């Protein structure tokens, strides 16, 4: 059996060997397209990553706490809550926007209309849960600003691996796993 050929295009044709297979861009891979787009991110890949992170966090926190992180208000189903950032999305550096330690289940009203009191309560609840808000701030500042496709893919695979451990998964999950293994 011949080893795979790293030569592509006209050179391979002239030498009489098969060119290497073209790489399918991440955004066009079927398993990625099976993830619905979320509301945050620049471009389709980041929006799909945000959907994964958002669903993962909402399911994780709902099964553990069933309340809004900032107000303590009960949330009936994980789909009724939102994934809220402790450090605002707009202030997060690079991939920290998608760091699940900074994102928690929150009611729509406190996520959309929170102020200093909500932010303070959010921080206090994080401390109660064993998360140090000061560490989150320091880690954010250490995070590289640049986001690239390989970092997004790595994070998508990380979150999918964590989703397997949850008591339930979003409706698209099985399809993504099925297409990823093809």
The helix/strand/coil state of 50 is helix
Look-up: residue for tokens 């640049």? 146
Write the burial class of residue 150 (CB in 10 Å: 0-12 exposed, 13-18 middle, 19+ buried): exposed
- Sign of the C-alpha dihedral computed for residues 112, 126, 83 and 156 taken in this order: positive
Q: Is the pLDDT of residue 10 over 80?
A: no
pLDDT score of 23: 64
Write the burial class of residue 125 (CB in 10 Å: 0-12 exposed, 13-18 middle, 19+ buried): buried
Write the burial class of residue 103 (CB in 10 Å: 0-12 exposed, 13-18 middle, 19+ buried): buried
- The answer to whether 89 and 40 have CB atoms below 8 angstroms apart is yes
Q: Is the pLDDT of residue 4 over 60?
A: no
Tokens at 46, concatenated: 């980041």
- The answer to whether 52 and 35 have CB atoms below 8 angstroms apart is yes
CA 139 from chain center: how many Å?
Answer: 17
The span from the CA of 133 to the CA of 81, in Å, is: 22
pLDDT band at 54 (very low <50, low <70, confident <90, very high): very high
Look-up: residue for tokens 């590289």? 144
| 0.95 exceeded by pTM | no
- The answer to whether 68 and 106 have CB atoms below 8 angstroms apart is yes
Q: Is the pLDDT of residue 7 over 90?
A: no
């Amino acid at each position: 059996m011949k080893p795979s050929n790293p030569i592509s295009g006209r050179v391979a044709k002239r030498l009489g060997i098969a060119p290497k297979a073209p790489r399918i861009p991440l955004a066009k891979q079927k398993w990625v397209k099976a993830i619905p787009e979320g509301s945050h991110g620049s471009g389709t890949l980041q929006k799909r990553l945000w959907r994964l992170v958002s669903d993962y966090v909402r399911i994780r926190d709902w099964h553990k706490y069933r309340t809004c992180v900032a107000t303590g208000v009960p949330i009936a189903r994980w789909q009724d809550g939102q994934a809220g950032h402790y450090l605002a999305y707009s202030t997060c550096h690079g991939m920290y926007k998608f760091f699940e330690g900074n994102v928690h289940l929150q009611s729509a009203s406190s996520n959309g209309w929170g102020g200093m009191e909500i932010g303070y309560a959010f921080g206090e609840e994080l401390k109660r849960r064993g998360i140090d808000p000061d560490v989150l701030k320091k880690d954010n500042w250490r995070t590289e600003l640049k986001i690239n496709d390989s970092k997004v893919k790595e994070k998508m695979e990380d979150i999918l691996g964590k989703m397997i451990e949850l008591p339930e998964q979003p409706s698209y999950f099985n399809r993504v796993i099925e297409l990823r293994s093809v």
